Amino acid sequence: MKDTRKDLLHQTHQRIFEIITGELPVKEAVKLIDDKISGFGTTWDEMILSKKDYLGILENTRNQQENYQLEWNLKPFSYRMLANDTVAVLCDEVNFFSPTDTGEKIEMFLRYTGVYEYTGEKWLLIHFHGSKPEFVDSAIDSFGIEHLKEKNEELKEEVKKRTARLEESLSRLRATQEQLIHSEKMASLGELTAGIAHEIKNPLNFVNNFSDLNVELIDESFEELDKIGSSAALSEAREILEDVKSNLEKIKQHGSRADSIVKSMLQHSRGGNGKAEKVDFNGLVKEYVNLAFHGMRAGKKPINVSIDYHLDEKIDKVPVIQEDFSRVILNLCNNAFDAMHEKLNVSKTQGEYSPKLKVKTYGKGDKIILEIEDNGPGISDEYKSKILQPFFTTKKGTEGTGLGLSITNDIIKAHGGELKVESKTDNKTYSRFIIQLKK
């Protein structure tokens, strides 16, 4: 009788182990465990006080094992029967192996204790305890404190190494970012140069033409002075010299214009002193909108654009870093021209479309508002939330770096301002960039 009960105990214990390892279905455990089973699993949250809790642990363990191909080995450590062979305590060491991607196997260890009660017909598991042993020397570190300290130092060292690698990666990213920003600035400068060439050409034509005309007028004045004997001749000479004076004033005016353009180019390319200075805000806006326009006209994708200025004359000088804020205007205008070029290509087969750029400045409380609006295809809601992010671009191939609007936004923030994006993509499509600066 005793041997039969003992054999039944071992069979029950083996079946419990096979359920734990996934060899038998979880439902088989229902008839092998007590309704009020209690116990502790190997994790801090595995505390069991009912059959339902225990079955839940088994299901969770089963689900986790599906991701691995574990091999189990049960080694009996101590089996003991008590209370007239109606209670049994079974202790085991459990080895299990997990294969790695390299074909090697990682060996892990568990300790398991099961307490069983005999009901007269069968054994039921009434309590269990699972643990994972720490690999420490019990003679000097029973609580594992020194082991934890050692692991902590290893973790600190690993953190240092990873931090160093992250700092190195961050340094490379910063260098790459600086190169990209420089490339973006050079691209902006290239577009600006084309506009500058066009802008300089007109005033220099005036300089050359009026210079030639002055030579002719001076020659005529010499001829008239040869006839000095006549008062009428003197009057004619004076009129000629007045014309010369007027032409020289025009030469000075257009020469100054050319000088202003060259200074703008140099300031944009050199970067300036990085300090905010009070400038004629409307003049700055108009200057760089015109430069962006002529740069586009002289570039690869020229289009005819009607520019409508609404500049508030009440706006006085505004403190800005001119070389930076000029890039804001150039970037926003260039984006607008690209958008209108895209819509123009589509509209060639879908009806009339006239590209228009609206530039508006006005004061609002303690703020200066600059609005640059185009009647291009508009910006979808999907893109509207992304266009100010670094490296986001809708341009194909290598046409855009995705930094233009991000840099623009950073410059405006550095000025204590805010960039807002408004757009519609329905029948009346447009994109409007609103810049708010403090006076």
What digits encode the pLDDT tens for the residues 371-408? 999 998 888 777 777 777 766 666 654 455 566 788 88
Segment 73-100, tens digit of pLDDT: 889 999 999 988 999 999 999 988 888 7
Owner of token pair 């002289």: 298
Q: What is the pLDDT of residue 115?
A: 97
More confident residue, 262 or 295: 295
Residues 277-307 have pLDDT tens digits of 899 999 999 999 988 898 888 778 889 999 9
Token pair recorded at residue 194: 């084309």
Q: Is the pLDDT of residue 206 over 50?
A: yes
Residue 139 inside a domain? The answer is: no
Q: What is the CATH number of the domain that holds 33?
A: 3.10.450.50
Q: Which domain holds residue 246?
A: 144-270
- Residue 321 domain flag: yes
Do 245 and 169 fall into the same domain?
Answer: yes
What value does the mean pLDDT of the chain take?
81
pLDDT score for 300: 80
Residue finishing a domain among 239, 270, 301: 270
Alpha-carbon distances of 269 from 174, 257, 299, 324, rounded to whole Å: 21, 19, 19, 10
Shared-domain flag, residues 287 and 422:
yes
Give the pLDDT confidence of 112-137 residue by residue, as tens digits.
999 999 998 899 999 999 988 776 56
Instruction: Label residue 189 by pLDDT band (50, 70, 90).
Output: low
Indicate if 350 and 378 belong to the same structural domain: yes
138 belongs to a structural domain: no
CATH of the domain at 303: 3.30.565.10
Q: Does an H or E element contain 341, and which? A: helix 322-347
* Statement: residue 266 has pLDDT above 60: no
List residues bridging with 75 in a β-sheet.
93
* 137 occurs within a structural domain: no
- Indicate if 29 and 177 belong to the same structural domain: no
For residues 170 and 222, state if they share a domain: yes
Half-sphere exposure of 313 (CA within 13 A, CB side): 0
The count of domains in the chain is 3
Q: Identify the domain boundary among 100, 131, 162.
A: 131
Domain-terminating residue out of 270, 297, 326: 270
What gap in Å lies between CA 39 and CA 29, rounded to an integer? 15
- Would residue 87 count as lying in a domain? yes
Same domain, 294 and 377: yes
